[in-house]
Amino acid sequence: RQAYVNGRYQPHSDAAVHIEDRGYQFADGVYEVVPVYNGILVDEDLHFDRLDRSLAELQIEEPMSRPALKLVARELMRRNGLSNGFVYMQVTRGVAPRDHKFPKDSRPALVLTTRQMKPHSPQVLAEGLKVITVTDQRWDRCDIKSVSLLPNVLGKQAAAEAGAYEAWQVDGDGMVTEGTSTNAWIVTGDNKVVTRDATHSILNGITRITLLELIKAEGYSLEERSFSVAEAQEAREAFLTSSTSFVLPVTQLDGKPIGNGHPGILTGKLRHHYMDYMQ
Ligand code: PDD
């Protein structure tokens, strides 16, 4: 298995960046996780659009042109024989002596890796996932896909320790923002699909964007708005989305069953629509 590091393909096992990379010292960088499904990079232009936006918001230069980056991603997939999984891309502000302000003459550092992924287990699809809630401790620019992920790491660890898959983060008003690495959705008693509107409080997931389009095209009723933990607790269904989860049912929140405790019917339909879309 190989990785791409600053212009070179190297064995993954000893690929390394410099100790004074600002990603390492300051988490001064951004990333993308692009799903690969049956050999295809799913929604790759939406991922590249979001990468460009994250870079622009942090005034980090683009490390190379989009066509060049697409070629590197494909070459790495080829070398690694990747047909199902994801490509991880990370851009940091580069290497410079440690000093908080932007360095004058650093070049952005670019790393790509791939990871193979197995299909989601039939058990997860049949039983759904457990989710806990945690306080959202993040900053007010969660729309930037920054590698600064400590609150997300702590939330996911808390979930794991509680035997759950994900933690839904809750803002100061008791409203769910999103998971630590996924967007959060519920289906209300009158079959409305609800997910938080894409402000600076959440990462606007590419899976979220595409699923919203599919929901509109299928004519399901939809509300992009905040929902509280209490509303989620009483929802008929719940699910989460991401580039690695696609659409996965949530059947338990803080130890209490959601709806009848089984994966929702509409959730199942939306998962199918999304899987069909990726084909
Ligand atoms: N996480 N919200 C957060 C905080 C995320 O980190 C992610 C993605 C999402 C879903 O976005 P998308 O649909 O574009 O994957 C929402 C990636 C998968 C990760 O950190 O591994």
The CATH class given to the 122-278 domain equals alpha beta
Quick one: DSSP state of residue 21? B
pLDDT in tens, the chain (279 residues): 999 999 999 999 999 999 999 999 999 999 999 999 999 999 999 999 999 999 999 999 999 999 999 999 999 999 999 999 999 999 999 999 999 999 999 899 999 999 999 999 999 999 999 999 999 999 999 999 999 999 999 999 999 999 999 999 999 999 999 999 999 999 999 999 999 999 999 999 999 999 999 999 999 999 999 999 999 999 999 999 999 999 999 999 999 999 999 999 999 999 999 999 998
| Model pTM score | 0.98
| Atom 6 in ligand 1: residue holding the nearest Cα | 181
- For the beta carbon of residue 121, count every other beta carbon within 10 angstroms: 9
2-116: CATH topology: D-amino Acid Aminotransferase; Chain A, domain 1 (3.30.470)
Spell out the domain ranges in the chain.
2-116, 122-278
- The answer, yes or no, to whether ipTM is higher than 0.95 is yes
For residue 11, how far is its CA from the centre of ligand 1 (angstroms)? 27
Residues touching ligand 1 (Cβ under 6 Å) are 33, 152, 178, 181-183, 203, 205-208, 241-244
pLDDT for the residue numbered 211 = 98
For residue 67, how far is its CA from the centre of ligand 1 (angstroms)? 23
pLDDT for the residue numbered 28 = 98
For residues 221 and 194, is the Cβ–Cβ distance under 8 A? Answer: no
- Catalytic positions are 145
